[in-house]
Amino acid sequence: MSATRRLPPQRARRVVALGGGHGLAASLSALRLLPTDLTGVVTVADNGGSSGRLRDELGILPPGDLRMALAALCGDDQWGRTWADVLQHRFRTEGELHGHAVGNLLIAAVWERLGDHVAGLDLVGRLLGAQGRVLPMTSVPIEITAEVVMHDQPGELTTIRGQVEVASTDGDVVSVSLEPSDPPACPEAVEAILAADDVVIGPGSWFTSVIPNLLVPELRDALVRTSAKRVLVLNLANQPGETDGFTAETHLEVLAAHAPELDIDVVLADDRVVDETGSLDAMVKGLGGRLVRTPVATSPQSDQHDSLRLAAAFRRIFDELDDRGRGATGRW
């Protein structure tokens, strides 16, 4: 693509990152270091821990992954670091507060007062000085349902319901779906995707954080229709109980099976997850994109993404997408 696509210097790049949990937090922590107008779109299917308890008791969206995304957007000054720590603090008591995160309770209280998910999250974001916006992928609580081949029942499919149950299954997940199957997308999330310059998908728990965003019909349609470039970030390690035995190629096969109409412009992978046979490169090209390989972990053995390395990778990818478009394999 011609270099004329490069954004004018006076406008921040509009970037939307989708996912949940620690994976989305990693992307947001890196992207906020760049000159971006940043929005996180968060999976809201958690049914365990503090989030699950508040969801059951108050009938609200599970706030935990939203809290983590907001904490990731806190600045590096004293105010930001202090509020990030406060949000993530969990009570340790012998009573009913045990295990609850302060941020979950804060978000729940603001929602109850305002009666609006988006307005509540925006208000909390302003309190924190968050360097971006956080939105739920849908306005209603959802359940994840998975078809699983249990290890003690080979050849038979078993249906498992619930995010925690799917993430910890003693079996091989074949596919996931949502209940309800067509939840209404958050309108602001759809608008952000359609207006974005770039959309980042992953990393994160593949079946319970990454794929669910692609199963909300209005979000998936927006991801297909947007003129934004789509960047997929692969995980550094498999998740026990959810993606045991997966290769990088398997992750892409799963994504393509759940959203076959979705093209990907760039797949970002750490060198250690790439098989030198070239099969991943071929699969990425089959999705319409190119493979970029670069170290993005905190250390060679770590399964955590390093914010600075990931930010540098995003910067180079965005610049190359402006200048080159699709079609070439990169190794930095």
Global model pTM greater than 0.85: yes
Query: pLDDT tens-digit profile of 208-240?
Result: 999 999 999 999 999 999 999 999 999 999 888
Look up residue 174 and give its two tokens. Answer: 């074949």
295 closest CA partner among 314, 277, 319, 272: 272
Q: For residue 10, what pLDDT is reported? A: 57
Query: pLDDT tens-digit profile of 12-48?
Result: 899 999 999 999 999 999 999 999 999 999 999 998 8
Q: For residue 150, what pLDDT is reported? A: 86
Q: For residue 278, what pLDDT is reported? A: 77
Q: For residue 3, what pLDDT is reported? A: 38
Q: For residue 12, what pLDDT is reported? A: 84
Residue 8 to residue 1: CA distance in whole angstroms: 16
Q: For residue 277, what pLDDT is reported? A: 67
Please list, in sequence order, all residues whose beta carbon lies within 8 angstroms of the beta carbon of residue 281, skipping any fewer than 6 positions away: 291, 329
Residue 240 to residue 267: CA distance in whole angstroms: 23
Identify how many contiguous H helices and E strands the chain contains and give both numbers.
13, 11
Q: For residue 168, what pLDDT is reported? A: 87
The CA-CA-CA angle for residues 223, 26, 57, to 5°, reads 80
Q: Which stretches in the chain have pLDDT values below 70?
A: 1-10, 277, 324-332
Q: For residue 118, what pLDDT is reported? A: 97
Residue 138 to residue 83: CA distance in whole angstroms: 26
CATH 3.40.50.10680 maps onto the chain at 12-36+181-332
Residue 330 to residue 101: CA distance in whole angstroms: 41
The domain made up of 12-36+181-332 is a member of CATH 3.40.1670.10: no
The answer to whether residues 73 and 40 touch, using CB atoms and an 8 Å cutoff, is yes
